[in-house]
Each structure stands twice: as structure tokens, then as C-alpha cells.
């Protein structure tokens, strides 16, 4: 099998697994217990918090563990909205956010908040001017993703954050796709809140973190015990946070080398696909793009059929985004960058990882060219268009 769906999830790193194993067995303590078992768990959690903080230039007291990226995103939006509702009820986000942000915004609308969804350009970039013009006196929060999960666009977060701060507005970024692949320095960026998720950087699933700058007012999302400085109840997932810390430290130590390797595979793939397959669209930018992401729309055929054919031949990719696959709605991101609905339906995302090889890339291109060709031969749309010579 050739796994090219690292934006959906990554395999657990073996070293990370080994670091986690004792906390599933002999070191099973509850980090809140007073006895020796508890203390052992608590010190592992303290160490994990320090390591994660170190990787993003935060203080340990600014790291809050969650059950993943989705919870961190929900908490950032709902927690800030509830804590600041007397100041204002307007929130700004973009049209290409992950569903964790989008659905949270939709829910906040039903609770009396107003949300502006910013347009992006044809490569997925949010501009500072667009943001500047959208800020109102009652705006309390701006949430723009660090890097897009479908088309890889890396947003100018530092610039956008400065625009929000000029008007005294808090700034959150969903950095789930970026963490482990790109350098993240919360102090340099200036962000007030930032979400990350462990399983996107070779850590375990079901654990993530929200960075909350000291001094930012936020309501709880999960009520319960005194965990996470009384801001997020629930017994700490000790093996999870230990694994997340190990995975992030490892990813950060190899960040340049991994980005260089993975982007070389991606670039090789993109140029081979562009030279071997006609009537395609490469979605997203060629600069300021996640090193591992390639998104192509293949005209006249369905993404789902390509995906199925690839899977039969041992290649795992994704149609658009994992989170919108299974639904018939075209991806919000592709609509926002102006891809026509028909073309959007023929979209496949390939996301590379540190274990992929050049041989796998070449093999995938060969299989893909073959399958696209075969599916197009069966497509009535393709035949019509070919006769009229209306190539787009
Ligand atoms: C995967 C992802 C999430 C959700 O994270 P989970 O830990 O899977 O809940 C949120 N935002 C982006 C951009 C993602 O890629």
C-alpha cells in the first residue's frame, strides 16, 4: 500500500509509541492523585506541557490539553464568544476553515452571535485589507487557519493578527495542519489562541492542545474537575499528552529536513502529473503552501471513482478533504477559490509524509495516469468535449 493521506492522519511514530507504553500499564496513575502513582503521572504531564510549550515558544501555563483539534477549535471560538459577549457579538473567520471552526460559527449564530465569513482569492489567501474592512466596533474575535487542509495555502497569520490587534480584537488560528510541518512561534506571530492536534504529526489520536495566551479571558467548554488550571475538566489523557509531546519535539527537531524531503516528493509528483495528464487543475498556490500537499481536479470524472480505482491498486488518497468526503456537497474551500462545481467533484488531495519514497511517487503517477485515462474513456462528458475540442 502507498499511503498519501497524511493530512487526514499520520501513522504513530514507533519512538512515540514506546514513550507512551508505560503509561498504559505500570504507570497508570491519575495525574490528580496524591500518592506515588499520581505523582509519577503528574510529573510526566508537567514534562509534556513544558516540551510542547518549548516547541511553540509559549509558557507551560499557556498550554491546555484537549481531546484533539476539534475540541481546541470549539473551545477557542465558544469560550471567547461567551467570555466577551458583553463587549460584542461579532466574530470574523474565513470561507475555507475546517468544519470544526465552520460548524462552531454556525452554532454561535444560533446563539445570537453574528459571523462574517471572509472571501479568499483564487489561491485561498485571506488579504489584510479584506480583514481590515470587516472589523467592526463589536468584533470580539478573528479566527483564520494557519494552513488549509485541502489546498495547502499558508495564510499570512502574523500580518492578519496585527490587523486584528490594531482594533483590539483577539486572534485565534487553527494550526492543526501546520504544527509539526512548519515553525510555529506564538510570540513572534502574536496570536492569542492556537489549536494543534497530535495525530497530524505522528502522535496518537484523541489528544491536542489549545494555546491560550496568559491574560486572555475564556469560558470553559468542558465543566468538571480542577484539571488544566480549572479551565478544562476531565482526567488527563496521560499516555496521550506524553505521546503528543514526544511527537512534537521530534517533528520540531527535524522540521527543515522533513519539509525539504516531503516537498521534494510533492514537487516531483506535481510536475509528473502535469506533464502526463491533460485537462487538470492544480488547486492552491505554488508558493506559501504546506510542503506535503498536492490537490488536483481532473475534469470529466468523479473524485470518488478515481479514489476507489486508486485504492484497488494500493494507493490511498482523499477526495477533497477527509472531513467533507462522504457528503455530496462540493467542498466549501474549492467553491471559495472559484473552482466550478463539476470540476470540484473531480478533486483528489494527495498528502505526503516522511516515510514515502520516490519510488512510491513514481508508481502513483503511473497508476493515476492509467486510471484517469480509463475513467475518462467511459465518461460521456469527456467524449462530447473532446469532439468539440473544448479543452479547458
Ligand atoms: C484534522 C484537523 C482538525 C481536527 O483535528 P482532530 O484532532 O482530528 O479533531 C482541525 N483543523 C484542521 C485544519 C485539521 O486538519
Ligand 1 mean position, distance from CA 171 (Å): 18
Spatial contact of 331 and 347, defined as CB atoms under 8 Å apart: yes
Is any atom of ligand 1 closer than 6 Å to the C-beta of 150?
no
Q: Which residue, chain included where needed, has cell 460548524?
A: 103
C-alpha–C-alpha distance, residues 136 and 320, integer Å: 33
C-alpha–C-alpha distance, residues 25 and 17, integer Å: 13
Task: Give the up-direction half-sphere exposure of residue 113: CA atoms within 13 A in the CB hemisphere.
Answer: 30
pLDDT at 390 over 60: no
Each residue's pLDDT tens digit, 265-301? 999 999 999 999 999 999 999 999 999 999 999 999 9
Q: Tell me the fold of 2-7+255-388.
A: 3.90.1150
Spatial contact of 7 and 319, defined as CB atoms under 8 Å apart: no
Report which ligand 1 atom has the smallest distance to the Cα of 8.
1
Ligand 1 mean position, distance from CA 72 (Å): 9
Is any atom of ligand 1 closer than 6 Å to the C-beta of 68?
yes
pLDDT at 325 over 70: no
Which of 99, 161, 156 minimizes the C-alpha distance to 124? 156
pLDDT at 391 over 50: no
Per-residue buried b or exposed e for 345-357, using 16+ beta carbons within 10 Å of the residue's own CB: bbbbbbbbbbebe
Mean pLDDT of the chain: 95
The secondary structure of residue 126, as a DSSP letter, is P
Each residue's pLDDT tens digit, 36-83? 999 999 999 999 999 999 999 999 999 999 999 999 999 999 999 999
pLDDT at 351 over 90: yes
Rg (CA), the chain: 22
Is any atom of ligand 1 closer than 6 Å to the C-beta of 180?
no
pLDDT of residue 323: 47
Give the residue with greater pLDDT, 295 vs 378.
295
C-alpha–C-alpha distance, residues 390 and 375, integer Å: 19
- Domain 14-253 CATH class label: alpha beta
Angle among Cα 264, 251, 19 to the nearest 5 degrees reads 140
Residue in 200, 203, 237 to alter for ligand 1 test, most ligand atoms within 8 A of Cβ: 200
Q: How many helices (H) and strands (E) does the chain have?
A: 15, 12
pLDDT at 116 over 80: yes
Residue in 9, 74, 105, 149 to alter for ligand 1 test, most ligand atoms within 8 A of Cβ: 149
* Residue 322 pLDDT level (bands cut at 50, 70, 90): very low
Mean pLDDT value of segment 363-387:
88
CB atoms closer than 10 angstroms to residue 145: 28
The two beta strands, 280-283 and 293-298, are antiparallel
* Residues identified as active-site: 323
pLDDT at 327 over 70: no
Ligand 1 mean position, distance from CA 163 (Å): 25
Ligand 1 mean position, distance from CA 35 (Å): 36
Mean pLDDT value of segment 324-348:
86
Residue in 177, 206, 332 to alter for ligand 1 test, most ligand atoms within 8 A of Cβ: 177
* Residue 329 pLDDT level (bands cut at 50, 70, 90): confident
Mean pLDDT value of segment 335-363:
96
Ligand 1 mean position, distance from CA 176 (Å): 6
Q: Distances from the Cα of 87 to the Cαs of 80, 131, 141, 306, 363, in angstroms?
A: 11, 20, 11, 50, 57
Torsion of CA 107, 109, 115, 117, to 10 degrees: 60
Phi-psi region of 153 (alpha: psi -120 to 50; beta: other; left: phi over 0): beta
* Residue 383 pLDDT level (bands cut at 50, 70, 90): confident
Is any atom of ligand 1 closer than 6 Å to the C-beta of 100?
yes
Nearest CA owner, ligand 1 atom 10: 69
Nearest CA owner, ligand 1 atom 6: 69
Strand, coil or helix: 316: strand
Listed in sequence order, the DSSP H helices in 184-254 are 186-189, 227-230, 238-253
C-alpha–C-alpha distance, residues 211 and 201, integer Å: 17
Domain boundaries, the chain: 2-7+255-388, 14-253
Cβ neighbourhood burial of 107 (10 Å; 0-12, 13-18, 19+): middle
Is any atom of ligand 1 closer than 6 Å to the C-beta of 321?
no
C-alpha–C-alpha distance, residues 231 and 226, integer Å: 7
Strand, coil or helix: 320: coil
pLDDT at 230 over 80: yes
Is any atom of ligand 1 closer than 6 Å to the C-beta of 319?
no
pLDDT at 320 over 90: no
Write the CB contacts of 360 (distance below 8 Å, at least 6 apart in sequence).
2, 4
Mean pLDDT value of segment 212-224:
98
Strand, coil or helix: 322: coil
Nearest CA owner, ligand 1 atom 12: 176
Grid coordinates standing for 382?
Answer: 469527456
Ligand 1 mean position, distance from CA 314 (Å): 25
Each residue's pLDDT tens digit, 231-257? 999 999 999 999 999 999 999 999 999
Is any atom of ligand 1 closer than 6 Å to the C-beta of 208?
yes
Nearest CA owner, ligand 1 atom 3: 69
CA 210 to chain centre: 14
Each residue's pLDDT tens digit, 4-30? 999 999 999 999 999 999 999 999 999
Report which ligand 1 atom has the smallest distance to the Cα of 198.
7
Is any atom of ligand 1 closer than 6 Å to the C-beta of 318?
no
Amino acid at each position: 500500500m502507498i499511503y498519501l493521506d497524511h493530512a487526514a492522519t499520520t501513522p504513530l511514530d514507533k519512538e512515540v509509541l514506546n514513550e507512551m507504553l508505560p503509561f498504559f500499564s505500570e504507570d497508570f496513575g491519575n495525574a490528580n492523585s496524591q500518592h506515588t502513582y499520581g505523582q509519577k503521572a503528574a510529573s510526566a504531564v508537567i514534562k509534556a506541557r513544558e516540551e510542547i510549550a518549548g516547541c511553540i515558544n509559549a509558557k507551560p501555563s499557556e498550554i491546555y490539553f484537549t481531546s484533539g483539534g476539534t475540541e481546541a477549535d470549539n473551545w477557542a471560538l465558544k469560550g471567547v464568544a461567551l467570555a466577551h459577549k458583553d463587549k460584542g457579538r461579532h466574530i470574523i473567520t474565513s470561507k475555507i476553515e475546517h468544519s470544526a471552526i465552520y460548524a462552531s460559527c454556525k452554532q454561535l449564530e444560533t446563539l445570537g452571535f453574528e459571523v462574517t465569513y471572509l472571501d479568499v482569492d483564487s489561491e485561498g489567501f485571506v488579504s489584510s485589507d479584506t480583514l481590515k474592512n470587516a472589523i467592526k466596533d463589536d468584533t470580539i474575535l478573528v479566527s483564520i487557519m494557519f494552513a488549509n487542509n485541502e489546498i495547502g495555502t499558508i495564510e499570512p497569520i502574523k500580518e492578519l493578527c496585527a490587523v486584528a490587534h490594531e482594533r483590539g480584537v483577539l486572534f485565534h488560528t487553527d494550526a492543526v495542519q501546520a504544527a509539526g510541518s512548519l515553525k510555529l512561534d506564538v510570540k513572534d506571530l502574536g496570536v492569542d489562541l492556537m489549536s494543534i492536534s497530535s495525530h497530524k504529526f505522528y502522535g496518537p489520536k484523541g489528544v491536542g492542545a489549545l494555546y491560550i495566551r496568559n491574560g486572555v479571558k475564556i469560558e470553559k467548554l468542558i465543566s468538571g474537575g480542577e484539571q488544566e488550571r480549572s479551565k478544562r475538566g476531565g482526567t488527563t489523557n496521560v499516555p496521550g499528552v506524553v505521546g503528543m509531546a514526544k511527537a512534537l519535539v521530534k517533528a520540531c527537531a527535524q522540521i527543515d529536513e522533513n519539509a525539504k524531503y516531503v516537498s521534494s516528493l510533492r514537487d516531483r509528483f506535481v510536475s509528473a502529473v502535469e506533464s502526463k495528464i491533460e485537462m487538470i487543475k492544480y488547486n492552491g498556490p505554488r508558493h506559501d503552501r504546506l510542503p506535503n500537499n498536492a490537490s488536483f481536479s481532473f475534469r470529466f470524472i468523479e473524485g470518488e471513482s478515481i479514489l476507489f480505482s486508486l485504492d484497488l491498486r494500493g494507493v490511498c488518497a482523499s477526495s477533497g478533504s477527509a472531513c467533507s468526503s462522504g457528503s455530496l456537497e462540493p467542498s466549501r474551500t474549492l467553491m471559495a477559490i472559484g473552482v466550478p462545481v463539476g470540476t470540484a467533484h473531480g478533486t483528489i488531495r494527495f498528502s505526503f509524509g516522511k516515510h514515502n519514497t520516490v519510488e512510491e511517487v513514481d508508481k502513483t503517477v503511473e497508476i493515476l495516469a492509467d486510471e484517469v485515462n480509463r475513467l475518462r474513456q467511459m465518461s460521456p462528458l469527456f467524449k462530447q468535449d473532446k469532439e468539440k475540442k473544448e479543452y479547458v
